[in-house]
Amino acid sequence: MEKGKLYLIPVPLGEEALHTIPTYVIQRIHQLDFFIAERAKTARRFIKRTEPQRPISDLTVFELDKHTPESGIEDMLRPLREGKDMGLMSEAGCPGVADPGTLVVDAAHNLGARIEPLVGPSSILLALMGSGLNGQNFCFHGYLSPKKPELAKQLRAMEQQSKRHRQTQIFIETPYRNQSLIEQVLNVLSGSTRFCVAADLTKPSQYIVTKTIAQWRKQKIPNLHKRPAIFLIGDF
């Protein structure tokens, strides 16, 4: 029996950013009955905002997190095995990038199902585009350590790696720790290193600024408390 297709559905980076989702993605969402998402409630809220013809209650949404066991993922993929298409969604951004969606894509590959990534917003990619730092060679590290001495070590290692390979280093932080992260970056890195702060991407309050560490030290640190942000460093 032919397997269903797994559609990877990007989700806007904020409530007000539905315009960032191409029409063909919305149309695809409206054709699917089965979804996998991190939180069923926010997934249903997003689908509802795309104005489907059918009641949301007709849809099945399976919940996935990084602790979901392999057997749980196999259960979720039953529709796919039975030839039905499914949609995988992230909480915000692209599934499989900085989220647990990878587990599902991997399992779908093992089933021999077709994978169809759809186009939409990724804060990592938008930040890289907007940074002006090298986009021909870059590395995304996810979250760094919350412990100050370890964080300082990681930042210095990234600065070295950036210099050695002309490679942009990208990382994130939980939004309530943005301010202390920026302070630590300005303390630890050398004056000539370039540092980009990209926050609230695709929102009206979007902020993307790249300066050298020396320039950043001379100005007031922007207030990014609780605003989702991406950080990039480049030293070349």
212: contact with a copy of itself by CB under 8 A: no
Which pairs count as long-range contacts for 55-62, CB under 8 Å and 24+ apart, including other chains?
58/33, 59/32, 59/33, 59/34, 59/35, 60/33, 60/34, 60/35, 61/35, 61/36, 61/37, 62/34, 62/35, 62/36, 62/37
Q: Which one, 5 or 61, has the nearer CB to a copy of itself?
A: 5
Q: To the nearest 10°, the Cα dihedral for 37, 42, 46, 47? A: 60
CA pair distance 206, 70, nearest whole angstrom? 38
Identify the residue among 92, 208, 230, 232 touching a copy of itself (CB under 8 A). Answer: 208
Span 76-95, contacts to a copy of itself by CB under 8 A: 94-95
Helix/strand/coil percent split, the chain, to 5: 40, 20, 40
Q: Pattern of binders to a copy of itself over 93-112, x per CB under 8 A?
A: -xxxxxx-xx--xxxxx---
199: contact with a copy of itself by CB under 8 A: no
Q: Which one, 56 or 175, has the nearer CB to a copy of itself?
A: 175
Identify the residue among 72, 117, 175, 222 touching a copy of itself (CB under 8 A). Answer: 117
Name the one residue in this structure whose structure tokens are 């920026």. Answer: 182
Q: Pattern of binders to a copy of itself over 32-71, x per CB under 8 A?
A: ----------------------------------------
Interface with a copy of itself (CB under 8 A): 8, 19-24, 94-99, 101-102, 105-109, 114-117, 119-122, 125-142, 167, 201-202, 206, 208-211
